[in-house]
Amino acid sequence: MNPCIISVGVGHWYPKGIHRLGKSLNYHGWPGDTILHTEYPAGCPPHNEVPYALKVYAFQEAFDKGYTSAMWLDSSVWCIKYPDEHINSLAGDGYYLVDCEFMCDEWTNDNCLNHFGLTREQAREIPMISGGILGLNMEFEIAREFFAQYKGAMEAGAFKGMWKDDEKVEGSGDRYKGHRHDQSCASIIAHRLGMKIHPFDTYDVYYRKDMPETTEFTLRGM
């Protein structure tokens, strides 16, 4: 069964991305279901209260509706090729994660590190994954464990923090720059669970003319 593709885009610009994402999936023959919101999912706190809680709520909604496999795409992402690799990874590994080319000590605040019992030096050894795309197949124990910890981190307040922290209010160290909310938490959880991280071969962070032929999704502004 194909995963259900989920996304949420609220505000002035992001609903336009949701519309574009849906059109791109249709154009490339996506046969699966989608749950694409232009309002917050039921019960979800607003972004300014709990940043990116909407991802957790979107996954939970899909699972509550009976989907065992779901793939989150940011509203700024669009499909440029039928996503065979993503589907195969979800079916074979139980998840899909992609590299972000940063380390967690750079983009994780002290509150989040404390939640996971980590020092900043330890976080320097943890690669950061992209929060723009995340696939989970709940038929696999590793996906269920990931989601339980991901949701628990949100509930514990570990998603909260300053996107950019030049004054180092929430962290310290020469490399620390700010907090990446759910992405910081997801990266630490994935590392602890020994989850495989895909390179930029099927997901390109920014649309460009020289993208690899294997690219299936890309990110582009609205």
Query: Within a domain: residue 72?
Result: yes
pLDDT band at residue 207 using 50, 70 and 90 as cut-offs: low
- Give exposure, 27-64, as e/b (b: 16+ Cβ within 10 Å): eeebebebbbbbebbeebeebeebbbbbbbbbbbbbbe
Query: Within a domain: residue 121?
Result: no
Count of domains forming the chain: 1
Query: Within a domain: residue 154?
Result: no
Task: Give the residue numbers spanning the domain of 77.
Answer: 4-101+128-143+182-219
Give pLDDT, residue 124.
97
| pLDDT above 70 as % of the chain | 94
Query: Within a domain: residue 111?
Result: no
Give pLDDT, residue 15.
96
Query: Within a domain: residue 177?
Result: no
Q: What is the CATH number of the domain that holds 85?
A: 3.90.550.10
Query: Within a domain: residue 149?
Result: no
Bridge-partner residues for 129, per DSSP? Answer: 99
Give pLDDT, residue 204.
64
Query: Within a domain: residue 119?
Result: no
Residues 6 or more apart whose CB falls under 8 angstroms from that of 41 comprise 8, 54, 57, 58, 60, 61
Query: Within a domain: residue 171?
Result: no
Assess whether pLDDT exceeds 70 at residue 107: yes
Bridge-partner residues for 71, per DSSP? Answer: 5, 135
Question: Which segments of 65-209 does DSSP mark as H helices, in order?
Answer: 84-92, 110-115, 120-123, 141-155, 181-192
Bridge-partner residues for 98, per DSSP? Answer: 198
Q: Which of 54-58, 60-64, 86-90, 113-117 has the lowest mean pLDDT?
A: 86-90
